Amino acid sequence: MKKAAELNISPPPPHAATPSTGMSTAEARVSAFAAQQELRNIPPRDIPESEELRVYVEAVTAYGAALAADMTARLDADWDAAGVSDAKILDAFERKAAHLASKAEVDAKVESLIAEEERLKEFHPDWLTDPEAHQKVHDAGVAWATMVDEYTNTLVALGKELFHANETRMRLFRENVVTTLAQERELGGEVFLSDDMKLSKADTELMNDVLSRFPSDMISFANGRGIPLHAKRSKVRAHYAGASRQKRKSYRAGVLNAANALRDEPFWDANQDFVNLRGEPLEDRHVPHRDTVEDTEENRAILGERIAEFKKRKGRISANKVPRIQEVVFDGQPRLALYVPDGWSEFTTKESPLVGELTFNGESSMTHEFGHHFETSNPEVGMACKLFLQRRTEGFEKSVYAPATRSKPAEIVISDGFMDSYIGKDYPGNYNTEVFSMGVEALLSGAHGGLMGVEVDMSRLGKEKGVPKTYRADPEHFALVMGMLSTANRGHSADVDTDSPNA
């Protein structure tokens, strides 16, 4: 354990309230909707460089700031009622810091008691058999062990107190954000999902819960792209791809020569002509007439024997790998063919439809990736966040957030004082950013201190890595995302304008 002096402990900052815009919520709402309508009146390709986009971003941010100001007052009251106000958190922090500061004194006392225990053992070499001496040694050992236990138990109790206080604060924060949004517009809806997507019951419930916090019109707008979403849990880093082809197993039926099988020629089962049946039955166009035999009871019996011999020779084998007899009609006359349903297979993307791919490993990452899903091909989100990012990072130098790997280029960011420098990541050539995704992750799942600095994770205090994790407040980013969740795609047609540069 590090000494308290080595931890460089400083009290956590109180959460930062969004500064007032000078407008009431009603006035800011009207202004944001007016700017939104002006933005919709210009061709999508003209939006990125337009004055209308700049005005829209400013109006939406002002709307979000007004909503945040209203919400902050309610949030403070809820925190007070739950006993997790800023003052209570600061008090708990100071108690834990004071306890850590006493570590040196406790260590000195423990070392003294251990030395006393050793001295008694030396003074009474027969302490193991002398009841009186044994009791003295025992009492000395219990004294220092009790002191260590009391210090450790108090530290653990303070850590739990802070942990549960933070959980309560963030739960109330999320509830207030969602309540505020629900007062402004309808929330929730079903995302257009791919037919082959399989989620566990728990993950399906999680997805429904996450989607219940997003605006219904925004979900509808994303569905209007016409590209289904394939979501799945992943053990590695979560990601989102707007349109990709999923690898699927493609099968080809293997057509055999039934005449060779009838004559029991060597390797009759080895030579196959592969055809893609696409779920249809085997027909005359799939097999040459010369590879079939007359449909008689005798021929059926012989072919059945050949198949039985094949199964015995191969042992345990998938049923779809076993030859089957199929009646095929040539010019009105039925004949017998042999084919293997799964004669050949491969993983390929050739026949897969375009889908959006979203992977997640929990509530926070799912919320983040849905943020990317809803910004894609969405000028009122993607282009607006791109402009916000450009303004915030103008004049700052780029830096490497994550180095290049064999499969991925380096991740480059521009940090301007964002809560996390990752928010400054740019995606050249499109209108994707981390502004909206990190923002909704903060507001709707309570991650990253909610962009308000409301969470102070002090559970690691006193451990090797030591210092408390605090989150920087970013009132402007909070206001932008809050305003966007209250404005973007409101009443908008779900049909995406294909003239959009990000479509």
Average pLDDT over residues 314-343: 87
Average pLDDT over residues 223-246: 85
Q: How far apart are the first and last CA of the chain?
A: 54
Distance between CA atoms of residues 467 and 93, nearest Å:
12
Q: What is the pLDDT of residue 11?
A: 43
- Percent of the chain having pLDDT more than 90? 50
Q: CA 162 from chain center: how many Å?
A: 26
Q: What is the pLDDT of residue 183?
A: 96
DSSP string, 145-187: HHHHHHHHHHHHHHHHHHHHHHHHHHHHHHHHHHHHHHHHS-B
Over residues 121-176, the pLDDT tens digits come to: 999 999 999 999 999 999 999 999 999 999 999 999 998 898 888 889 989 999 99
- The answer to whether residues 177 and 72 touch, using CB atoms and an 8 Å cutoff, is no
Q: Compare 413 and 420 and report the one with higher pLDDT.
A: 420
For the chain, the domains span 1-184+379-487, 257-339
Q: Where are the beta strands (DSSP E) in 320-458?
A: 324-330, 333-348, 354-360, 399-402, 411-413, 456-457
- Whether 462 shows a pLDDT value over 50: the answer reads no
**Torsion sign, CA atoms 72, 74, 79, 85:** positive
The torsion defined by the Cα of 449, 454, 457 and 462, in degrees rounded to 10, comes to 140
Q: What is the pLDDT of residue 250?
A: 62
**Torsion sign, CA atoms 143, 145, 149, 151:** positive
**Best CA proximity match to 500, nearest among 56, 47, 192:** 47
Neighbours of 118 (CB within 10 A): 12
Residue 252: in which H helix or E strand, if any? strand 248-256
Average pLDDT over residues 198-227: 94
* Tokens (6 digits) for 64: 């979000």
Average pLDDT over residues 69-95: 91
- Helical H segments across 83-230, by residue range: 86-101, 103-123, 131-184, 201-211, 216-223
Q: In terms of pTM, does the model score above 0.95?
A: no
Q: How confident is the model at residue 280 (pLDDT cuts 50, 70, 90)?
A: confident
- Whether 6 shows a pLDDT value over 50: the answer reads no
Burial of 409 (0-12, 13-18, 19+ CB in 10 A): exposed
Q: If you average pLDDT over every residue of the chain, what do you get?
A: 84
CA distances to 34, 428, 490 from 31, rounded to whole Å, are: 5, 31, 14
Q: Specify the DSSP class assigned to residue 200.
A: -
Q: Compare 257 and 244 and report the one with higher pLDDT.
A: 257
Average pLDDT over residues 83-92: 88
Distance between CA atoms of residues 109 and 103, nearest Å:
10
Tokens 């007016």 — which residue?
Answer: 34
Tokens 């084998």 — which residue?
Answer: 317
